[in-house]
Amino acid sequence: MGGVFVTGTDTEVGKTYVSVLVAKWLRSCGVDVGVMKPVETGCVEVNGRLEAIDAHALVEASGVDDDMSLVAPCRFRKPLAPLVAAELEGTTVDVSRILECFRELAARHSFLIVEGVGGLLVPLTGECTVVDLAARMELPLLVVTASKLGAINHSLLTLEAAKARGVPVAALVVNFLTPESNEAQRTNAVALRDVVSVPVEEMPYGGGGEASRFLGELLLAAGLNAAK
């Protein structure tokens, strides 16, 4: 099984958006792609159960019929860091359960896209952060940053955190959240390519076929190599 762990330099940078585009491209190429959102906060209650909006978007993009209890095993109401959201509900994030679900999905699919929550150092429990989870899954990272002022610093900090934990980074995506762009937005990717050793790809506002293809091919190669 190959796969990739999608993380962000912050919240609301477009992790789900990029994950959906990559999942759609891989599916269009005939890849048996599975998806997972191990922890989702800010879920809405529908008919007595918590619905994970991001996880549903991933499932729709990939076309899988895996049960949501596997795809999104840890769901919480409050849009807060998982550690805090879980404490407010009188529970904890069950990392062991997450890993069980991960192994089950990995056995079902040839490639698995796992989308994290927030950034790499977001705490899931008092002892486990998002990057710790990615390390335990042994998946390379796809880092998504929003193209805005501060993106360079946030991206470099994220890459440093990954390096410190020994987690490889397959690529960095500079995601445009609006159709308008200023000088900082237009130069972020250029500057990052000068200072990092990983591939840097721009995702234009509204998506881009070439960008999705490039990322899909790169991640497929990185994920399958990591599985060897």
Among the ranges given (131-135, 136-140, 179-183), the one the predictor scored with the smallest mean pLDDT:
179-183
Average pLDDT over residues 96-119: 97
Residue-wise pLDDT for 157-167, tens only, equals 999 999 999 99
Side-chain half-sphere of 182: how many Cα atoms within 13 Å? 5
Which pLDDT score is estimated for 219? 67
pLDDT at 153 over 80: yes
Distances (CA, A) of 11 to 16, 57, 62, 81, 145: 11, 17, 23, 10, 9
Q: pTM, whole model, 2 decimals?
A: 0.93
pLDDT at 117 over 50: yes
Pairwise pLDDT comparison (224 vs 83), residue with the higher score: 83
Which pLDDT score is estimated for 206? 77
Catalytic residue among 24, 37, 78, 228: 37
In DSSP notation, 57-80 reads: HHHHHHT----HHHHS-EE-SSSS
- CA gap 186, 103 in Å, rounded: 40
Mean pLDDT of the chain: 91
- CA gap 71, 105 in Å, rounded: 8
Is 163 one of the annotated active-site residues of the chain?
A: no
pLDDT at 225 over 60: no
- CA gap 84, 59 in Å, rounded: 26
Residue-wise pLDDT for 51-96, tens only, equals 999 999 999 999 999 999 999 999 999 999 999 999 999 999 999 9
Which pLDDT score is estimated for 54? 97
pLDDT at 182 over 90: no
Average pLDDT over residues 24-47: 93
Number of Cβ atoms within 10 Å of the Cβ of 65: 6
Counting residues of the chain whose pLDDT is more than 90, the rounded percentage is 77
Spell out the domains of the chain, with CATH numbers in brackets. Answer: 2-227 (3.40.50.300)
Tokens of 78: 């409050």
Q: Which band of pLDDT confidence, cut at 50, 70 and 90, is reported for residue 124?
A: very high
Residue-wise pLDDT for 202-217, tens only, equals 888 877 666 667 666 7
Counting residues of the chain whose pLDDT is more than 70, the rounded percentage is 91
Identity of the amino acid at 119: G
Q: Which of 132, 141, 95 is nearest to 114 (CA)?
A: 141
Which pLDDT score is estimated for 228? 46
Which pLDDT score is estimated for 178? 86
- CA gap 86, 33 in Å, rounded: 29
